[in-house]
Amino acid sequence: MNFLDLAKNRFSVRRYKSDPVPEEDLNYVLEAGRIAPSAVNYQPWQFLVVKDKKTRELVNTLYHREWFREAPVVIIVLADHNQSWKRADEKDHADIDAAIAADHMTLAATDRGLGTCWVCNFDKQKTIDHFNLPEYLEPVVFLPLGYPDQETDINRHKTKRKPLKEIVSWEVM
């Protein structure tokens, strides 16, 4: 499958089968995050994988959606502010780099027939407290991971995305 087809097949999954994610596929997804580009190649991320039932129950309290409980795995993508590149104006790129890694993982999951959904509306402070995260690690996104129990229209982008002429300028704004 070419890249655009892969990207069109990725969608926000909100219904998951209970089937476990094979370790080989989970490692494939994690490897995609590991090799993602980052500013100055600093790779300012950590991936916290949650599979254990007891820990999953706790993670479910950090984001209260019934569908979220169905995913057999959650990857918590953390931005490492101690490892990130800072631009001259002090813009910290940790969250941008973590987002790039997360996006690589969502596409790798799609490549393996797995589904994901970006979850950013979680309780950040409770996440920090529960996992006893040091102040330099910021939770950026939860990625539930599992086999989708729903389908999507791969042609949805024709009507659910702005046309190029609305978002692209050539030479001047």
Q: 0.85 exceeded by the pTM?
A: yes
Residue 101 belongs to a domain: yes
Residue 160 belongs to a domain: yes
Range of the domain at 94: 3-167
Q: How many domains does the chain have?
A: 1
Residue 140 belongs to a domain: yes
By C-alpha distance, which of 70, 75, 89, 91 is closest to 25?
75
Residue 124 belongs to a domain: yes
Write down the pLDDT at residue 123: 96
Write down the pLDDT at residue 34: 98
Q: Could you tell me where the DSSP H helices lie in the chain?
A: 3-9, 23-34, 53-60, 94-111, 124-130, 157-160, 164-167
Residue 173 belongs to a domain: no
pLDDT more than 90, % of the chain: 95
Q: What is the CATH number of the domain that holds 29?
A: 3.40.109.10
Residue 12 belongs to a domain: yes
Give the model confidence (pLDDT) of 32-61 as tens digits.
999 999 999 999 999 999 999 999 999 999
Helix (H) or strand (E) holding 77: strand 73-80
- Asked if residues 79 and 28 have their Cβ atoms less than 8 Å apart, the reply is no
Four-point Cα dihedral 19, 147, 30, 82, nearest 10 = -100
Residue 80 belongs to a domain: yes
Give the model confidence (pLDDT) of 72-96 as tens digits.
999 999 999 999 999 999 999 999 9
Asked whether residue 154 carries a pLDDT value surpassing 90, the answer given is no
The number of helix segments (H) and strand segments (E) in the chain equals 7, 4
